[in-house]
Amino acid sequence: MIILDNNVKLIENQKGISLVEVIVSILLISILLISIFGLILQSAKTTKSSEDIVNGTYKAQTEMEKLYKFALEDDNENKLPIDLSTLNFERYLYKECKLIDKNNPEIIKGNCSSNTPVDTHEAYIFEKEDSVYLLLTIIKLDSDSKLTRATIDVYDNKGKQQILKAHVENTIEWDKVE
């Protein structure tokens, strides 16, 4: 201790924290909290996205089970009609018929006509507005077969930018062919 005056004493060894130390510790704590909040926010976004996909898959699977049950019902008059555009199933609306390549279903060869070329399948497309947008595609594998390939795509209803949430595909054997 240094004595300057009779009544004033200057302490050389001060114990405590300075303003600089306080600011640095607040800065470090802030950086740490911002990082943790970023992780929590990203986790919430991932959880929401996963929830949307699970709900979409559940919706697609439920619709596929309804279609499977519909195909097997004995009292149903609307089995596998020659013209699938007349199919009456669960409020689905007929949209269009496309000819797709047998080897690569992504290739669309045109619209359906009275005579289907040998290298194509007829793909009948139906749509349904629900809490989500559902797209049902039924592909006749052969003109005289009871087998069809059915796909249900579930899209999120977000205006013009529709995001695919789920895709379910199955082969269905219909009870009878008209």
pLDDT tens track for 86-143: 677 777 888 888 888 877 767 777 777 666 666 677 788 888 877 778 888 888 777 6
Domain extent for 161: 54-173
Residue 57's pLDDT band (cuts 50, 70, 90):
very high
Number of domains composing the chain: 1
Kindly report the backbone phi and psi dihedral angles of residue 24, in degrees, each rounded to the nearest multiple of 5, phi listed first: -65, -45
Question: Which amino acid makes up residue 2?
Answer: I
- Mean pLDDT score across all residues of the chain: 79
39 versus 85: which is more confidently predicted? 39
On whether residue 48 sits in a domain, the answer given is no
On whether residue 5 sits in a domain, the answer given is no
On whether residue 33 sits in a domain, the answer given is no
Query: In angstroms, rounded to a whole number, what is the distance separating the alpha carbons of residues 77 and 88?
Result: 10
Query: In angstroms, rounded to a whole number, what is the distance separating the alpha carbons of residues 165 and 58?
Result: 10
**pLDDT of the residue at 61:** 92
Residue 78's pLDDT band (cuts 50, 70, 90):
very low
On whether residue 70 sits in a domain, the answer given is yes
On whether residue 147 sits in a domain, the answer given is yes
Read off the pTM.
0.67
Residue 50's pLDDT band (cuts 50, 70, 90):
very high
On whether residue 6 sits in a domain, the answer given is no
Angle at Cα 66 formed by Cα 152 and Cα 135, nearest 5°? Answer: 20
Query: What six digits make up the tokens of 132?
Result: 């989500």
**pLDDT of the residue at 25:** 94
Question: Which amino acid makes up residue 165?
Answer: K
Q: Quick one: the chain helix, strand, coil %, rounded to 5?
A: 30, 35, 35
Kindly report the backbone phi and psi dihedral angles of residue 129, in degrees, each rounded to the nearest multiple of 5, phi listed first: -95, 125
